Amino acid sequence: MQYIATFFWSFLLVTMLNYVVSSVLGVTFDFVTGAIISLIFSVLVLIVTAIIPNEPTPEAEHH
């Protein structure tokens, strides 16, 4: 479910950002480019969450 939610939100947010930026720049909206960028973004987010450790640091355990 975590992967589906990540893909959904990255697709939604990147497509929305793609639409707004293309409107501001006055260029045509390209849906395929936004979809590809959202897939790349979601994979990068999943990689970063896999790299960051879940356990607290030793300093945080003493507080």
DSSP assignments along 5-53, one per residue: HHHHHHHHHHHHHHHHHHHHHT----HHHHHHHHHHHHHHHHHHHHHS-
Residue (of 31, 33, 39, 53) closest to 7 by Cα position: 39
Residue 16 token pair = 């929305």
Q: Tell how far CA 15 is from the center of its chain.
A: 11
pLDDT of the residue at 63: 62
3-class SS at 56? coil
If one counts the domains in the chain, the total is: 1
Per-residue model confidence as pLDDT tens digits over 22-62: 999 999 999 999 999 999 999 999 999 999 988 877 776 66
56 part of a folded domain: no
Model confidence, pTM: 0.73
60 part of a folded domain: no
7 part of a folded domain: yes
